[in-house]
Amino acid sequence: MKADLIIIGGGIVGTTIARELSKYKLQVLLVEKEADIGFGSTKANTGIIHAGYDDIPGTIKANLCVRGNTLWPQIAAELGIPFIRTGSWVVACKDEEANTILKLKRRGIMNNVPGLQIIDDRKQLLMLEPNISNKVLLALYAPTAGIISPYEAAIALAENAYHNGVQIQLETEVKDILLEKNAIVGIRTNRGLIETNSVINAAGIYSDEISAMCGINHFSITPVRGEYFVLDKNLNGYVRHILFPVPTPVSKGIVVSKTVAGNLIIGPNANNVNEKTDLATTKPGLNEVFEGAQKLVPGLASKRGMVITIFAGLRAESSIGDFIIEAYDSPRGFINVAGIKSPGLTAAPAIAEKVIQLLKNMDSDLNEKKNYNPSRESIQRTIDSLSTNQSWTNMPKDPNYGHMICRCEHVSEGEIVEAIQRGANTFDGIKFRTRAGMGRCQGGFCTPHLIRILSRELDLKAKSITKHGRFSSIVPYEVKESLMEER
């Protein structure tokens, strides 16, 4: 197999680069070691599009965060990605925190963040956010901040890239990068050799290991685990903005925010871990998160019973302290896109632009396609077709779109089958494309139905259906066919 260029990593950064490269006449291949797009750090973060006031002026992070923020609305509209500009607050509840708020505003102005305001009228603050702590003194308001679904974004970007000619190969782990005469000639994977003369390393927490395969060892990646709570949609509207505490040198702090789906999300904390697979949630860590959130929104103390799930994600903390986006003379054809932690989701479109410029500087032959299509249709939601401002005539003709499988999130069998046709082959693949299993019961009702549909559509036995790929079987034994029939 051959490709002009290989992208290693199918997270939000790799898929954004893939879509940008799909505008050009190149044979591009994206390889991802997991069973689906976005199954690494992308699936487990807060989903915030940051305004850009927090990053130190002059850093790559600062420049690309603000640029990425301006690019996301158009991308979301073109690809049918849920995106809402909610605005964000950094909240000061102590006198000594007020000075930091002023510093953040000055930093934001230096970073060219538009519209920053300091709200120092406590009555106004409590009117705008009725559930915020009554100790609030002032807040930095950033109107350009917003929320997005990161895994839906990565899937949409990958789909659009694929339909514009990018090849995607999942469950493909890079074992080595092959060099001859100081230039890349290919990669060796668990699925064989692939010839290429250009590689873009967007491997997230594994990016230092990929870089070392080329002899580039000037940085290391430390996985930083963050734990989260997700609360029931009955709390939709409990907060109206993204609420940040005053940041520390380690973290932006424990956030309280709504999600694009209408849930409330709180987290993360920040703890270095030794293993890049350590996604454990811990009692001390979760207590830290909930207590931190209550400092902003005290009423959460009575809402712990409305938690529907907990999870943890890993951030790629580089020893450099900034994004690493570099091309090299030795070896020729290698580009690092490494150490992409927050605000990496926000910056992703701008990172992709920077990578294109690096390729052009490397004298790559980049000729734009005339038939590039920037648009992608999202999966049609039955619940949207039945909303009060639409008629029954907008319903898809397939009767499966009228058969509800996930009662919590109102997901139909038609949507699930469409997700499978678009590439989902695991429980989480269905979940991230349709939200089936993400509601109040967390799949307690719909899981058997999802297994049945996956088994039928993929022509697999029930025990072969996994949650997220290898070593994650949901039913680790044979199931009688009669038990898989719909009841």
pLDDT tens-digit series, residues 182-205: 999 999 999 999 999 999 999 999
Amino acid at site 79: L
Distances (CA, A) of 436 to 54, 79, 410, 442, 451: 35, 20, 8, 9, 12
Per-residue pLDDT, 389? 54
The overall average pLDDT reported for the chain is: 94
Per-residue pLDDT, 8? 98
Per-residue pLDDT, 196? 98
- Answer whether CATH 3.90.700.10 is correct for domain 382-484: no
**Alpha-carbon gap, residue 41 to 204, rounded angstroms:** 7
Yes or no: say if 350 and 67 are a contact pair by the CB < 8 Å rule.
yes
pLDDT tens-digit series, residues 286-318: 999 999 999 999 999 999 999 999 999 999 999
Per-residue pLDDT, 78? 98
Mean pLDDT of 375-398: 72
- Say what percent of the chain tops pLDDT 70: 95
Distances (CA, A) of 396 to 176, 227, 263, 323, 457: 47, 39, 28, 45, 19
Q: Which pLDDT band holds residue 482 (cuts at 50, 70, 90)?
A: low
Amino acid at site 382: T
First to last CA, the chain: 46
Q: Catalytic pick from 50, 241, 449, 468?
A: 50
Distances (CA, A) of 220 to 4, 45, 64, 128, 198: 28, 21, 22, 43, 22
pLDDT tens-digit series, residues 122-144: 999 999 999 999 999 999 999 99
- Our answer to whether residue 50 is catalytic in this structure is yes
**Alpha-carbon gap, residue 263 to 229, rounded angstroms:** 10
Q: Residue for token digits 């925190």?
A: 97
Q: Which pLDDT band holds residue 209 (cuts at 50, 70, 90)?
A: very high
**Alpha-carbon gap, residue 126 to 9, rounded angstroms:** 44
Which of 49, 56, 51 lies closest to 110, judged by CA? Answer: 56
Q: Residue for token digits 């509840």?
A: 93
Distances (CA, A) of 410 to 386, 393, 403: 11, 19, 10
Q: What is the DSSP letter of 202?
A: -
84-147+223-314 and 382-484 have identical folds = no
**Alpha-carbon gap, residue 33 to 308, rounded angstroms:** 29
Per-residue pLDDT, 14? 98
Q: Count the Cβ atoms, other than its own, within 10 Å of residue 106.
A: 12
Q: Indicate if the pLDDT at residue 382 is higher than 90.
A: no
Q: Indicate if the pLDDT at residue 327 is higher than 90.
A: yes
pLDDT tens-digit series, residues 414-469: 999 999 999 999 999 999 999 999 999 999 999 999 999 999 999 999 999 999 99
Q: Domain map of the chain by residue range?
A: 84-147+223-314, 382-484
CATH class of the domain at 84-147+223-314: alpha beta
Q: Indicate if the pLDDT at residue 485 is higher than 60.
A: no
